[in-house]
Structure 1
Amino acid sequence: MEELRAGVEDVALVDHHAHGVVPGELDRAGFESLLTESDAPIPGWMTQFDSPLGFAVRRWCAPVLGLEPHASPEEYLAARVSLGVAEVSRRLLAASGAGRFLVDTGLGGGIAELAEASGKPVHEVVRLESVLEDVGRSGVSAAELPARFQEELSRRTAFAVGIKSIIAYRFGFGFDPRPPGSAEVVRAAGSWLRDGAPRVADPVLLRFALWAGVERGLPLQLHAGFGDPDLDLHRCDPLLLTGFLREVAPRGVDVLLLHCYPFHRNAAYLAQVFPHVHFDVGLAINHTGARATAVLAESLELAPFAKVLYSSDAWGLPELHHLGARLWRRGMTEVLSRHVDSGEWALDDALRVARMIGRDNAERVYGLGPGRC
């Protein structure tokens, strides 16, 4: 157990899907709002500290800030204020042991700040819908939009390591898996632009952006499963992507299903049967807290280990970057030690799998070799 724990701790994780940190100070309401996926005000009769994630913050983040484990919310927030946001970020990001971060900039920037606070390489993942919405607000005509979008996508991804779509949020996965026709895209663009190019939710435009991302050839991340309340969870089951995954297979593009809870077993099946499909359980690791080990164990039941990646999906709070790593390391140690102790696995194999999931698979998929700074 100790040798396995030490080996897991030694992995310089590649956090293949994360976001930036909030640069300013937060009051209690602001802090607690980032401990939930809900966008509604927190009722006065409850606190987000009384949640699996809230308990995990008090257990695992408090010692990093110089407090005893399970410090009260008041003590924890007071320590944050005393240390200052820059020091809090520095400590928690360092404690994560992450060696690289791949940042989805669709929520706004974060690359420079995360790189400075962590001292580690940070790479961009470009969100397709954000690019399309920017083009739509630029004064483009419906006829011009397809070419202008592809030009802008090429420009924005020149140094990116991947592309992401949130079609799960905007429509769900029950879309026509084939690329839309040109005339169809122009008609949909005309309606959208006449409405002032709001948040893109038209399934034709979403499919157009998605297939433009496939043609770009970079690894394609797709949010699946649990997330913000503006999605319909039953439409975010990755099994609904089966037709699309078949269409993409000949293109040589890797598809990475993000988070996937509570459909992580379905994602594991897809990773098992499609060579180009990979997945993680990132968001669920933080939000399940003490039960994260069970989610990790379920994610490793079926899929080849070369198809599973680590991510935190941390956004806003550096606590989430740290917790994603801490709960992953703890969970992997517990799951793998059971296999080793039972005689099902050799210790060397368990350590190799931990390195694959924590670092090696992401380095292969995203081309993050030693020469990539």
Structure 2
Amino acid sequence: MRMPALIDHHCHGLVADDLDRAGFEALMNEAPHASPLATTLFDSMLGLAIRRHCAPLLDLEPLVDADAYLARRRELGAPEVNRRLLGAAGIDTFVVDTGLWRDVLTSPEETAAYAGGSAHEIIRLEWVAEQVLQAGTDDFAGEVVSRLQASGAVGAKSIAAYRVGLELPATKPSADELASALAGVAPERLVDKTVSAWLAHTAVELGLPLQFHVGYGDSDLDLLQCDPLRLTAFLRGTVDRGVPVLLLHNWPFHRNAAYLSQVFDHVFMDLGLATHNAGVLSRTLLRETLELVPFGKLLFSSDAFGLAELYLVAALMFREAAEDLLGRLVEHGEMTDNDAQRLVDLVARENAVRAYGLDPR
């Protein structure tokens, strides 16, 4: 089976400065730091994957201990580590969410340059709205629309999951409802369901493919409110527009997301940061997702944030999972080699090209 270069349809920039152990562990997963009541974040499937698969690219033996790994990382320097690991990840197109740590992480173009690839931007709706509110305006709606249209982004992202949950209405809030809601929001952190709903519907109206954070994330969200099934009304209300809605990450709701991708024409999904966090066990997530998801609705993403290791592990785990699972299906006569290649090509590249209207190079 030939593995094409990947399009990473949802990711973030990298830290270009060297990190001590505490700084590195703070970026490994959704925990803010290693728990003083536990051991270390290296004691996880992700920690094993970094030591197993990233260490050799830094001239170390596989599964070298964490202290030796981090010492070598500092010796090489973050830019060289970023170049080595992204260069080995096999990703040539990066679709980058720029809504978080904009002044700390590398830009989309800088991130892609480490791999000799190309970059596109995803613009975060709540960030745009907060910028408009902080600047002050008599026409919030018009200013938001203008900024989205002028952004050059290939898509937008909603973090309603973090702010208000995913139970958004089927119809766009009226101008009066928006004005009433805006009267009570904090410009520095927008937390209002009416405003989040207005932003999401506006992005779809503008034809911007719309990403939603779904499921697994940090302690700032309430996971109970992040089941994608809560988006059902919104999905019913937007299906006729034909604008892609892309469900990100999805664990532990990946089966629910697969169902939604099947029954709504415009819904796509990925496994995002669950892939690198689960390490080699992420092949179970892929198998469970493929139970229902149409092959033309599943996209690869790493959701890598800060650490180049997350790009490499996510890409490698996807490839290994696909080769293992599809290889067994071919072996048992459940699909042909051509079927397996078609599935891989769709998930690795073609679905992202179609969903975002990218250059299909």
TMscore range, shorter length: over 0.9
Partner of 1:269: 259
What is the number of residues matched between the two proteins? 357
Residue matched to 1:14: 7
Partner of 1:36: 29
Q: Could you tell me how far apart the structure 1 residues matched to 2:157 and 2:349 are?
A: 20
Aligned counterpart, 1:83: 76
How has the CA–CA distance of structure 1 residues 41 and 139 changed in structure 2, closer, same or farther, with 3 Å as cutoff? farther
The C-alpha deviation readout for 1:148-200, integer Å capped at 9, x for no partner, is: 221222222xx2111111111111112323211111111111222xx4x1311
Paired with 1:42 and 1:31, the residues of 2 have a C-alpha distance of 14
2:160 maps to which residue? 167
> What is the 5 A alignment of 1:154-193?
154-156=149-151, 159-192=152-185
Per the alignment, residue 100 of structure 2 pairs with: 107
Distance 1:300 1:370, change over 3 A: closer
1:345 corresponds to which of 335, 338, 342: 335
What is the aligned partner in structure 1 of residue 118 from structure 2? Answer: 121
Q: CA deviation at 1:102?
A: 0.2
Structure 1 residues 257 and 216: CA distance shift in structure 2, 3 A: same
In 1, the alpha carbon distance for the partners of 2:37 and 2:262 equals 45
Deviant stretches of 4+, over 4 Å: none
Q: Distance in 1 between matches of 2:237 and 2:76?
A: 52
> Post-superposition shift, 1:119?
1.6
SS in 2 for 1:102: strand
Q: Does 1:73 align with 2:66?
A: yes
Two-structure CA RMSD over aligned residues (Å)? 1.3
Report the CA distance between 1:370 and its aligned residue. Answer: 4.1
Give the distance between the partners of 1:308 and 1:116, measured in 2 at CA.
26
- Residues 226 and 260, structure 1, Cα contact 8 Å, conserved in 2: yes
Name the TM-score, length of structure 2 as normaliser. Answer: 0.96
How many Å separate the matches in 1 of 2:196 and 2:23? 32
Does the residue aligned with 1:107 lie in a helix, a strand or coil? coil
- Give the AA of the match of 1:331: A
Residues 85-118 of structure 1 deviation map (CA, whole Å, 9 limit, x = unaligned): 1110001001100010100001144213203222
User: Which of 140, 146, 152 lines up with 2:147 in the alignment?
Assistant: 152
Determine if contact 2:242/2:265 at 8 Å carries over to the other structure.
no
Q: What is the CA–CA distance in structure 2 between the aligned matches of 1:89 and 1:326, rounded to whole Å?
A: 16
Rounded to whole Å, the distance in 1 between the matches of 2:355 and 2:26 is 33
Letter in 2 for 1:251: R
* Residue identity matched to 2:140: L
1:249 to 239, 253, 257: 239
Report if aligned partners of 2:214, 2:248 keep a CA contact under 8 Å in 1.
Answer: yes
TM-score normalized by the length of structure 1: 0.93
Partner of 2:249: 259
Aligned to 1:61: 54
Which residue number in structure 2 is paired with residue 203 of structure 1? 193
- Structure 2, unpaired ranges of 5+: none
Q: C-alpha distance in 2, partners of 1:280/1:44?
A: 33
